[in-house]
Amino acid sequence: MGEFSGKVAVVTGTTGIGRAVALRLAQAGAKVAALGIDDDANRELEGIATVKGFDLVSIRTDISVPADVAAAMGEAVGTFGGLDIIVNAAAVHPYGDATTTPFDVFMRCMAVNVGGIHLTAEYGVPEMRRRGGGVIVNLSSVQGHACQRGVSAYVASKGAIHALTRAMALDFAPDRIRVVSVSPGSVRTPILALAARTFEGEDADLDAVFARFGEAHPIGRIGEPEEVADFIAFLASDRAGFITGSDHRIDGALTAGIGVK
């Protein structure tokens, strides 16, 4: 029996950290519905789960669209019989400052990164109440604490996740629903690959760029999705039963210093 046997989890995002979390929870016995907009990633994740014998389904979902999220939550609950855990990992990462980011791009970023969290709570929390409680883990970023230049939409969304997490933790504490956020540093994901290509060009040597990104972290490397997934699994478990309303950095000490050499 795994740690999450008998639990049902919804995880948004089927690449990067979302994919790693879905597999980690399923490996520990959870029944997992993975919500993603990337059809190829959805199929690949389901294929891995099938080979490993995990109880996992993928559901094509645009998490910024209320009807999509309502339908996906209904399918997840109908398939698995309830809902205990939500992990909000889906995200988009536009580049630009407030003068170079078109307003529709800014709003799309907020709709996916923040609105998706609202929607999974809107349709998921009532199901958690029926189960007597649950856990919501929201993926933020160190960029919600300290940011680079030229990423105004992304950092606005990640800072909003910190605030929304606090609000949800207070609102849903009486329902025995814990809500936390996680703020990773640089992690080997498609979003980090996008960063590498944005700064270095489409033909960038990803391994070399990732190594350079890693040098900015005092620990000397970037993180792996599985490391973040392990941390999220802890936060979603009963072992973290007194943890709610807080943000948790997993960043190789990136934000521990002031960045002056």
Answer yes or no: are the C-beta atoms of 81 and 30 closer than 8 Å: no
Residue 26: partners with Cβ closer than 8 Å, 6 or more residues away = 32, 49, 52, 54, 55, 56
pLDDT (tens digit, 9 = 90+) per residue, 212-223?
999 999 999 999
Answer yes or no: are the C-beta atoms of 178 and 243 closer than 8 Å: yes
Lowest mean pLDDT among 176-190, 196-210, 242-256: 196-210
Residue 176 in this model has a pLDDT that exceeds 80: yes
Catalytic site residue 154? yes
Output the pLDDT for position 260: 55
Output the pLDDT for position 18: 98
Residue 261 in this model has a pLDDT that exceeds 80: no
We find that the CATH architecture of domain 8-185+223-250 is 3-Layer(aba) Sandwich (3.40)
Write the DSSP string, 194-255: HHHHHHH-TT--HHHHHHHHHHTSTTSS-B-HHHHHHHHHHHHSGGGTT--S-EEEESTTTT
Residue 259 in this model has a pLDDT that exceeds 70: no
Q: Quick one: average pLDDT of 24-52?
A: 97
Model confidence at 199, in pLDDT bands (50, 70, 90)? confident
Q: Give the predicted TM-score (pTM) of the model.
A: 0.96
Output the pLDDT for position 194: 87
Catalytic residue among 154, 172, 210, 231: 154
Q: Quick one: average pLDDT of 64-80?
A: 98
Nearest to 140 by CA among 168, 108, 182, 100: 182
Measured CA to CA, the distance from residue 120 to residue 161 in angstroms comes to 13
Output the pLDDT for position 43: 97
Residue 46 in this model has a pLDDT that exceeds 80: yes
Instruction: For the chain, give the mean pLDDT.
Output: 96
pLDDT (tens digit, 9 = 90+) per residue, 112-156?
999 999 999 999 999 999 999 999 999 999 999 999 999 999 999
What the block records as the tokens of 136 is 């919501």
The SS3 of residue 88 is strand
Residue extents of the structural domains in the chain: 8-185+223-250
